[in-house]
Amino acid sequence: MTLPGDPKLRARLGIVLIGIALAVLPFVVGANFGNSWVRIIDFALLYVMLALGLNIVVGFAGLLDLGYIAFYAVGAYLYALLSSPHLATAFPAVFASAPAWSVWLVLPLGALVAGLFGVLLGTPTLKLRGDYLAIVTLGFGEIIRIFLNNLNAPLNLTNGPQGINNIQSAEIAGQSLGRSFELFGLQIPSVTAHYYFFLALTLLVIFICVRLQDSRLGRAWVAIREDELAARACGINTRNVKLLAFGLGATFGGVAGGLFAGFQGFVSPESFGLLESIMVLCMVVLGGMGHIAGVILGALLLALLPEVLRWGAAPVQQWLFGKVLVDPESLRLLLFGVALVLVMRWRPAGLWPSALRKRELAAHAEVA
Amino acid sequence: MSDPAGTIAQEAVLLSASGVSKRFGGVQALRDVSLTIRRGEVYGLIGPNGAGKTSFFNVLTGLYSPDEGRVTFDGRDLPPGVPHRIAGAGIARTFQNIRLFGAMSALENVMVGRHIRLRTGVIGAILRTPAARAEEAATEARAHELLRYVGIDQLANQQATHLSYGDQRRLEIARALASEPKLLALDEPAAGMNATETGGLRTLIEKLRGDGLTVLLIEHDVKLVMGLCDRVAVLDYGEKIAEDVPDVVRRHPRVITAYLGQQADPEAA
Ligand SMILES: Nc1ncnc2c1ncn2[C@@H]1O[C@H](COP(=O)(O)OP(=O)(O)O)[C@@H](O)[C@H]1O
Ligand SMILES: [Mg+2]
Cβ separation A229–B101 shorter than 8 A: no
Cβ separation B116–A211 shorter than 8 A: no
How would DSSP label each residue in A296-338? HHHHHHHHHHHHHHHHHHHHHHHHHHSS--S-HHHHHHHHHHH
Q: Which ligand is nearest to the CA of B191?
A: 2
Cβ separation B93–A357 shorter than 8 A: no
Residues spanned by the domain of B111? 103-179
Total Cβ atoms within 10 A of residue A225: 22
- B57 alpha carbon – ligand 1 mean position (Å): 11
- B52 alpha carbon – ligand 1 mean position (Å): 6
Of the two residues B262 and A318, the one the predictor is more confident about is: A318
pLDDT value at residue A1 = 47
Of the two residues A335 and A149, the one the predictor is more confident about is: A149
- Closest Cα partner for A262 from A196, A173, A187, A166? A166
- Residues 6 or more apart whose CB falls under 8 angstroms from that of B261 comprise B48
Phi/psi zone of residue B6: left (φ > 0), alpha (ψ -120 to 50 degrees), beta? left
**pLDDT (tens digit, 9 = 90+) per residue, B55-98?**
999 999 999 999 999 999 999 999 999 999 999 999 999 999 99
- Residues 6 or more apart whose CB falls under 8 angstroms from that of A296 comprise A48, A51, A52, A206, A287
Please give the mean pLDDT across all residues of chain A: 90
**pLDDT (tens digit, 9 = 90+) per residue, B205-251?**
999 999 999 999 999 888 888 899 999 999 999 999 999 999 999 88
Total Cβ atoms within 10 A of residue B133: 13
Name the pLDDT band for A351 (thresholds 50, 70, 90). Answer: confident
Cβ separation A233–B95 shorter than 8 A: yes
Question: Which residue on chain A is closest to B174 by alpha carbon?
Answer: A234
Residues of chain B contacting residue A230, judged by C-beta atoms under 8 Å apart = 95, 99-101
Segments in A55-159 forming alpha helices (H): 69-82, 86-90, 103-122, 130-150
- A278 alpha carbon – ligand 2 mean position (Å): 42
**pLDDT (tens digit, 9 = 90+) per residue, A235-277?**
999 999 999 999 999 999 999 999 999 999 999 999 999 999 9
Q: What is the CATH number of the domain that holds B15?
A: 3.40.50.300
- Point out the domain boundary residue: B133, B152, B179: B179
- B268 alpha carbon – ligand 1 mean position (Å): 20
- Closest Cα partner for A52 from A219, A276, A241, A205? A205
Residue B53 φ/ψ, nearest 5 degrees: -65, -50
Please give the mean pLDDT across all residues of chain B: 91
- Closest Cα partner for B219 from B60, B42, B87? B42
Same-domain pairing of B164 and B228 = no
Same-domain pairing of B67 and B111 = no
Same-domain pairing of B25 and B155 = no
Separation of first and last alpha carbons in chain B = 39
**Residue owning the nearest CA to atom 1 of ligand 1:** B24
Query: Vertex B17, ends B13 and B19: CA angle to 5°?
Result: 145
Name the pLDDT band for A5 (thresholds 50, 70, 90). Answer: low
**Residue owning the nearest CA to atom 9 of ligand 1:** B55
Same-domain pairing of B69 and B197 = yes
Same-domain pairing of B10 and B138 = no
**Pocket of ligand 1 contains residue B49 by CB under 6 Å:** yes
**pLDDT (tens digit, 9 = 90+) per residue, A60-107?**
999 999 999 999 999 999 999 999 999 888 898 888 887 778 899 999
- A358 vs B: CB within 8 A: no
- Point out the domain boundary residue: B127, B144, B179: B179
- A8 vs B: CB within 8 A: no
| B214-218 vs B42-46, strand pairing mode | parallel
Contact A68, A253 (CB under 8 A): yes
* A320–chain B nearest CA distance, Å: 47
Cα separation, B78 vs B62, whole angstroms? 9
- Point out the domain boundary residue: B156, B179, B202: B179
Is residue B153 scored above 80 in pLDDT? yes
Contact A259, A107 (CB under 8 A): yes
Question: Which residue on chain B is closest to A349 by alpha carbon?
Answer: B103
Same-domain pairing of B19 and B122 = no
Give the environment of ion ligand 2: residues with CB less than 5 A.
B 54, 96
In this structure, is residue B97 part of a structural domain?
no
**Pocket of ligand 1 contains residue B65 by CB under 6 Å:** no
Phi/psi zone of residue A268: left (φ > 0), alpha (ψ -120 to 50 degrees), beta? beta
The total number of structural domains that make up chain B: 2
